[in-house]
Structure 1
């Protein structure tokens, strides 16, 4: 039996339905990310799990207990917000111990747990400081420690890294994942940043217009997108209109170039797509003109125009390798498995 079950959740505000029949089963200790653009319903689902919003329909079940109508403080949930939400008049130690004090934990036990949490987040000597004396990354770590101090059953993180600069975000997201794995706590992480979701999640739920478009591992979401929306939202995608020549054999034509996909296809015209790392310059393939070359350290990015649209090719940096110059006429190809056939 799953540890956290979201059973046919729906949420409407007036006549507007923002979450449509949302189903998800999360195992104990699993790290699941809700990924999607602003307004897709991911934070609303999170708030229903936390108890800050009451579902219009459906249930929230934690460890076999139906908590749909329970108050937030009855659910044993820890939550970390985007805005840190630390108390400015309390020290770091007092912030971390706040939930324990409200729960009536004795002072001596509180002090031990606070020290444990500060050590866990790597700030053992900063308990006497105030939030304004900390960096943004340190404040968010204190917010994480405060959420974890009461030993919640579930940890919820609502875009906790979006206010931080890029380098700190990478460091802190890795630390969050390490702490989550160390504690084995069931976690839901809400983000609109695909790199964050792909890098730290056990599974990802890609949300779009109030529904879960696809749920899967990061590799499944990236390599086997189930819908056109998922394919376009997660990662960069090059699209080509193709004519199906032989549906049974998976033979198509793009701009005069025949491509064998070795899988059955629908008849007529379809949309093919390929990730930048799948495309390569080859003797035969789709005709293209190089329009730009970018050096990105470990990756060399080529931009080209093919089939009437801009496309991007990524290749690993090879010192001494010659790159085509802008204006060069080339042909683009990809292995059969590198092509995606997009659906609705």
Structure 2
């Protein structure tokens, strides 16, 4: 069993000259929890990871691992495992030697080291690849070896910096599931950095959506997707329709969207408002929002219909593909309905 610990980041900040890249970042991670830092390039997520690892010194704030303040501690003393995007394997060492490198540096005896390396290679499903050099392994296999190397010394926390971005799509999907399975089996506290929202939503206990150095929202994947806390989170995570609406009854949240009336059952400000809606929230009906179809995309299990409302607003609607159901065509007029609970109030 890997030694796992809690992780607390309090008031973390980082500036490079006049550029403040991380601002008042706070996060409490429970032992064994899998947290993803999600956001666009330049939002500060990798800088947060590097501060946890000890590669960057915070301009302000505190980092505590397992109750121990490590803010000013060297990386080597923090007992953290790190997996990088570019594998960073030693090309002149075999897979087994790469996995055992940290153990050798730590002075672990040869027999114990060999046993741990064998255990790690079995854990990542490559027991027969120990004698192979990195150039003899596929990208996915190299990243598995990098993961085993990070886990071999039994770190308190595992950090993964976009570890799948260099792999092709099918390998990414398979390997992310394997990483999550290994993480659950070991129960190790893990921070995973990614700009891929599907990746973050599919494997995380909680997701931290970062924007301009700030944690815009921290929540479970369903909370992040279904109840975004800010306009940025709503727009960044998933596909979102932005629908101009007029509030008819503020207390009940009774609104009109291009003449279609719906009740949100929550208080809203009077006057014009912008509402968000996921493409899958709409359903075809005999009456409702009048949509003129501009095009249809076949996406396998899903058909994506693009169209516009009578007021000119663009709308995207997803429906399950069915051989028994005739797809709409460009120029068709269809009616869509939506439950008020699926409408999101957006900040402009």
- TM superposition score category, shorter chain reference: over 0.9
Tell me the residue number matched to 2:335.
331
Tell me the residue number matched to 2:157.
154
Please list, as runs of the form range in 1=range in 2, the aligned pairs for 1:1-344 lying within 5 A after superposition.
3-306=6-309, 307-343=311-347
Using the size of structure 1 for normalisation, the TM-score is 0.98
- Cα distance in structure 1, aligned partners of 2:79 and 2:104: 15
How many Å apart are 1:309 and its aligned residue?
3.3
- Cα distance in structure 1, aligned partners of 2:123 and 2:281: 41
Gap regions ≥5 residues in structure 2: none
CA contact (8 A) 1:226 1:343 kept: no
Is the deviation greater in 306-315 or in 57-66?
A: 306-315
Task: Tell me the SS of whatever aligns to 2:22.
Answer: strand
- Cα distance in structure 1, aligned partners of 2:337 and 2:39: 30
How many Å apart are 1:249 and its aligned residue?
1.5
- Cα distance in structure 1, aligned partners of 2:279 and 2:258: 19
- Cα distance in structure 1, aligned partners of 2:336 and 2:275: 13
Is the deviation greater in 320-329 or in 169-178?
A: 320-329
How many Å apart are 1:312 and its aligned residue?
1.2
CA contact (8 A) 2:262 2:339 kept: no
How many Å apart are 1:295 and its aligned residue?
2.1
Task: Tell me the SS of whatever aligns to 2:127.
Answer: coil
**CA offsets 1:82-103 (integer angstroms, 9 cap, x no match):** 0000000111100000000010
Deviation beyond 3 Å, 4+ runs, structure 1 = none
Using the size of structure 2 for normalisation, the TM-score is 0.97
- Cα distance in structure 2, aligned partners of 1:19 and 1:328: 49
How many Å apart are 1:262 and its aligned residue?
1.7
Is the deviation greater in 74-83 or in 303-312?
A: 303-312
**CA offsets 1:227-268 (integer angstroms, 9 cap, x no match):** 000000000001111111110121111222222212111111
CA contact (8 A) 1:20 1:210 kept: yes
Aligned residues, how many?
343
- Cα distance in structure 1, aligned partners of 2:60 and 2:183: 30
- Cα distance in structure 2, aligned partners of 1:149 and 1:278: 45
**CA offsets 1:109-153 (integer angstroms, 9 cap, x no match):** 110000000000000011111000000000000000000000000
- Cα distance in structure 1, aligned partners of 2:313 and 2:267: 26
Task: Tell me the SS of whatever aligns to 1:277.
Answer: helix
Task: Tell me the SS of whatever aligns to 1:249.
Answer: coil
Task: Tell me the SS of whatever aligns to 2:281.
Answer: coil
Supply the RMSD in Å over aligned alpha carbons: 1.0
How many Å apart are 1:48 and its aligned residue?
0.3
- Cα distance in structure 1, aligned partners of 2:50 and 2:14: 11
CA contact (8 A) 2:11 2:61 kept: yes
CA contact (8 A) 1:41 1:209 kept: yes
- Cα distance in structure 1, aligned partners of 2:314 and 2:258: 14
